Amino acid sequence: MAMISIDSRSATPPFEQLRVQLIEQVKSGELAAGTRLPTVRKLAEDLGLAPNTVARAYRELEADGFIETRGRNGSFVSAQGDAAQRQAQEAARAYADRIRALGIPISDARRYIDGALST
């Protein structure tokens, strides 16, 4: 997850600053579908916010379909876009997870994807 910064002097409430920054990271692809987000307590601690502030941002992100909460397993980035885009994002996440498990370097993984897509 990319760096998130909260400006305590801003007129925008901290939960909204967090919500907007997470949406930007999801839309840009910095946070890929299936990425596990930090726990509310951990993110609150890291950002110097109250846990309820982070919890509110997470609730609103979930209501808007950007994240999904899987009980005790935590909160994860939801796939975005139409059905085909969502499936592609989920396939990319599965591929990335498998590549990591196999210990394949990222440069090789990208080469494999390029080769597969060019055939």
- What is the average per-residue pLDDT within 98-119? 94
Residue pLDDT, tens place only, 67-77 = 999 989 999 99
Residue 38 pLDDT > 90: yes
Query: Could you give all domains of the chain from N- to C-terminal order, each with its CATH number?
Result: 1-79 (1.10.10.10), 81-119 (no CATH)
Percent of the chain with pLDDT over 90: 76
Confidence of residue 40 (pLDDT cuts 50, 70, 90): very high
- What is the average per-residue pLDDT within 12-21? 96
Confidence of residue 43 (pLDDT cuts 50, 70, 90): very high
Residue 10 pLDDT > 80: yes
Residue 1 pLDDT > 80: no
Q: Are 63 and 55 a contacting pair, CB within 8 Å?
A: no
Q: What is the DSSP string of 22-66?
A: HHHHHHHTSS-TTPBPPPHHHHHHHHT--HHHHHHHHHHHHHTTS
pLDDT of residue 68: 94
What the block records as the tokens of 69 is 């909460």
Query: Is 0.85 surpassed by the pTM of this model?
Result: no
- Amino acid at residue number 91: A
